[in-house]
């Protein structure tokens, strides 16, 4: 099976998926391509270091949303994608793409969804809000992507404690470590169900 990973930044979640595939933690799958929403992000370097085809498909390259979506769909099809993984991906996908890959797109979010998610809650802002609210715990969530933002069915969640004296950086680091764990585990969980889907598609 083939995984395409969409990225926007440092790519530590991408790295976790690369490591899990290379270590055999994730069986029967390979990363077919990495698509970045902007040029120059370190996630692209990580892909290059592991010989994975990479492309930049973002607002700069394709200002028109419809053209950007078409470019994404073409790249995903060229890579014969079975599973789309959003790994620190900061762009909202169009309904056309969600429908084309319905039930085969997963996202990692650095909070315990449904808390601190949706528009405006991404990256450091999540942890700022958690600390401002005086939460005693936070965590990360992997979920299927539907047409909302961070609203699809939850696949896996894991908690971390919020500790006295935590800053957004110390909390972010504790959550990020858990993101890496549950993203790889969620992919392991979802892959076997996809091969069934692909078979059924062939049957139709």
Catalytic residues: 109
Distance CA 162, CA 111 (A): 12
> On the CB side of 158, how many CA atoms lie within 13 Å of its CA?
15
Per CB under 6 A, the list member of 3, 6, 12, 121 interacting with ligand GRF is 12
Encoded one letter per residue, x for contact with ligand GRF by CB under 6 A and - for no contact, window 52-81 reads ------------------------------
Q: Footprint of ligand GRF on residues 38-57 (CB under 6 A)?
A: 43
Distance CA 192, CA 113 (A): 25
The piece of 3-11, 20-28, 91-99, 131-139 that touches ligand GRF (CB under 6 A) is 3-11
How are the residues of the chain apportioned to helix, strand and coil, as percentages rounded to the nearest 5?
40, 20, 40
Encoded one letter per residue, x for contact with ligand GRF by CB under 6 A and - for no contact, window 114-153 reads ---------x------------------------------
Is 152 marked as binding a ligand? no
- Residue whose entry in the numeric block shows the structure tokens 């069934």: 196
Is 125 marked as binding a ligand? no
98 is a site residue for ligand GRF (CB under 6 A): no
Distance CA 161, CA 80 (A): 40
Is 104 marked as binding a ligand? no
Residue 48 CB, shortest distance to ligand GRF, in Å, is: 15
Question: Kind of pairing, strands 83-86 and 105-109?
Answer: parallel
**160: nearest Cα among 143, 176, 175:** 175
Per CB under 6 A, the list member of 2, 10, 19, 61 interacting with ligand GRF is 10
């Amino acid at each position: 099976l083939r995984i395409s990973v969409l990225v926007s930044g440092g790519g530590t979640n991408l790295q976790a998926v690369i490591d899990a595939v290379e270590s055999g933690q994730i069986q029967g799958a390979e990363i077919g391509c990495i698509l970045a929403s902007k040029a120059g992000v370190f996630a692209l370097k990580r892909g290059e270091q592991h010989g994975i085809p990479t492309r930049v498909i973002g607002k700069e390259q394709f200002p028109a949303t419809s053209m950007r979506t078409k470019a994404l769909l073409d790249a995903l099809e060229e890579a014969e994608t079975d599973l789309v993984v959003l790994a620190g991906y900061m762009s909202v996908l169009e309904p056309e793409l969600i429908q084309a890959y319905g039930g085969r797109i997963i996202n990692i979010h650095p909070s315990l969804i449904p808390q601190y998610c949706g528009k405006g809650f991404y990256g450091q802002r999540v942890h700022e809000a958690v600390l401002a609210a005086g939460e005693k715990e936070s965590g990360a969530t992997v979920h299927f992507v539907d047409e909302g933002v961070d609203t699809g069915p939850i696949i896996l969640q894991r908690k971390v404690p919020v500790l006295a004296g935590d800053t957004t950086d110390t909390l972010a680091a504790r959550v990020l470590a858990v993101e890496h764990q549950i993203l790889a585990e969620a992919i392991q969980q979802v892959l076997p169900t996809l091969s069934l889907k692909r078979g059924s598609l062939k049957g139709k």
